[in-house]
Amino acid sequence: MPNACAITSRIASKPMSTPDLATAATPDKRLHPWSFLFVLLQQLRQFLIPLVALLFFGRGSSDDNGSDQWWPLIGVGVLAVISLLQYFTYRYRVDGDSLTIRSGWLHRSLRHVPFARIHNVVLHQSLLHRLFGVAEVRLESAGGDKPEAQMRVLRLDDALALEQLIRHRGVAPAADALAVADDVLLAMPTSEVIRHGLISNRGLIVVGAGIGALSQVSPRLLPNLFEGMGEVLFGWAGRQAFGPAQYVLAAVSLLLLFVVVLRVLSVAMALLQYHGFVLSEHGRRLTVDRGLLTRLRTSATRRRIQAWTLQEGLLHRLFKRRTLKIDTAVAETGNEKRALKELAPIATPYACEALIQHLLPAVEWPRRSWQPLHRNAWRRLLMPGVLFAIALTAALTWRFGVWGVFGLLWLPWLWYRARQYARRAGYSVDEGLIAVRGGWWSKYWRFAELDRLQALQLTRSPLDRHYGMATLHLDTAGASPMTSPLRIRYLPEAEAYDLYRWLGAVIAARKLQW
């Protein structure tokens, strides 16, 4: 796969050939001359639907006057002029330890971005970018919904030089410092990427997106398709006079087919996104390179990591793998998943542990001792389920008579699950780190250095108070609402309160670290 790792191999082969690195302050620089093309393409993508609508609309009303269909082209022309203007007015310069960007024509703006403020550097190369030998660079800081700077597009070596400068905070690195090759912390061979595809549920996303796109195009297309297929299938089945066994067999094989198709799609997605995944370390900076057609290279310093998540689902366990993710304070814009989030999409448990030990050398991991939850935590876990099950059984009995009582058969399962969950859940804390573990089928470990905690909250619901429990929430920056929260549920009340007070004092005494 050497040709797929264009960015990586470039750096490795000629690390010192860019002259800009020698001087910290460079003269004003422009974007790549072709950049207007890429800006135009980006804008066209946004205006595509109105433009297409205009094209159809124009054609419909152009019986008397044939010139209407040229309106869209005028629109494209205006956009092209805007893109060209953007190219001619956009300049950037590196002064010592910061980047200065001038842009705009009528509304001019001057932007000053200190390198120390940048949390994440993203180098993005789509297939088209690679044909032209250019790359898109995004510099992201903490919070906010827009990147500090987005350069669409730079020549590849300019982009790499800029990335290098930011890596070294504007100080031109010594020749021998650069000659040191990046330490590869994790590389995923194709077999691992395929395994990742099998474990992850990406196929479902593809199917969902496909259904969405199809119903956008024609709302009746999918229902018609399903009805047609249903008629054909059931019509055929009706003529064959099958017994129940055959029907079950047919249903199972259809289901199997669906699962297989999903997994194949999932593997294809994983190959597209994660082909040639390499996590490397250069000094304090972590860099991830990945992608088959579109190459993506994102980097962040180690100290920008806010919290860690280690996951092991059922399929993970089957393949003896785990997933290691981190939170950074960089805001995700829309559905563009570009920030450095996954240190190890999948890796063996041992490799995950080695990674954590390497990146958090001062911390004990894996933890030897875990504190259990409240003795009665399983009852507290069980309670909402029991209430729901009783309500459900009552409803079933009212509707179906005595047979509804079978709804109570759900209870033993709930009991077993609560016991298992409570047995495994726990937390572990020392002066350096706080860690929480949970889950049963699908396990997770979530942890953060104490310096990274931002605020604390202790909550007690009426049920909690009945059992003498409390839940401690630990807030960190950049935690997404989708991941399991960093919180210790169902602690004995006194223990929770002690921990809350102790943590409050410790955090107050430590300086905020970004």
Partner 1 sequence: MPVDTPPIDTPPDTSPQMPSPEWHALPARARKLFVLIHALGFGVAGGIVAMGGATLLASIFDHDGLFWVAIALGLVGGIASGAWWGDKQYRHTRWKLDNDGFALQRGRLWQRESRVPASRVQHLDLKHGPLERKYGLATLVIHTAGSKLNTVTVGGLDAADAERLRDHLADRIEADVDA
Positive/negative CA dihedral, 12, 17, 23, 27: negative
Contact flag: residue 485 with partner 1 (CB under 8 A): yes
Nearest approach in angstroms of CB 312 to partner 1 is: 24
Give the integer Cα–Cα distance in Å for 221 and 214.
7
Give the integer Cα–Cα distance in Å for 212 and 329.
31
Give the integer Cα–Cα distance in Å for 440 and 381.
13
Tell which positions 451-470 bind partner 1, by CB under 8 A. 453-462, 465
Whichever of 51 and 458 has its CB closer to partner 1, that residue is: 458
Residue from 476, 490, 491, 492 binding partner 1 (CB under 8 A): 476
Give the integer Cα–Cα distance in Å for 360 and 433.
10
Give the integer Cα–Cα distance in Å for 163 and 149.
13
Write the interaction track for partner 1 spanning residues 371-400; mark x where CB under 8 A is met and - where it is not. Answer: ------------------------------
Residue from 134, 279, 329, 436 binding partner 1 (CB under 8 A): 329
Whichever of 143 and 228 has its CB closer to partner 1, that residue is: 143
Q: Strands 342-347, 322-328: parallel, antiparallel or unpaired by DSSP?
A: antiparallel
Q: Given the structure tokens 């019509």, which residue do they identify?
A: 235
Element (H, E) at 398: helix 377-400
H-helix segments, 244-298:
244-274
| CA distances for 266 relative to 189, 262, 343, 444, angstroms | 17, 6, 20, 22
Contact flag: residue 507 with partner 1 (CB under 8 A): yes
Write the interaction track for partner 1 spanning residues 125-154; mark x where CB under 8 A is met and - where it is not. Answer: -----------------xx-----------
Helix (H, G, I), strand (E, B) or coil at 291: coil
Contact flag: residue 96 with partner 1 (CB under 8 A): no
Q: Which tokens hold the place of 332?
A: 């995700």
Nearest approach in angstroms of CB 447 to partner 1 is: 16
Q: Binding segment for partner 1 among 43-51, 122-130, 348-356, 479-487 (CB under 8 A)?
A: 479-487
Contact flag: residue 478 with partner 1 (CB under 8 A): yes
Whichever of 161 and 499 has its CB closer to partner 1, that residue is: 499
Q: Binding segment for partner 1 among 62-70, 183-191, 201-209, 449-457 (CB under 8 A)?
A: 449-457
Max distance between CA atoms of the chain, in angstroms, equals 85
Residue from 73, 430, 432, 494 binding partner 1 (CB under 8 A): 430
Element (H, E) at 466: helix 462-467
Contact flag: residue 450 with partner 1 (CB under 8 A): no
Q: Which residues bind partner 1 (CB under 8 A)?
A: 142-143, 329, 430-431, 453-462, 465, 473, 475-481, 485, 498-500, 502, 504-512, 514
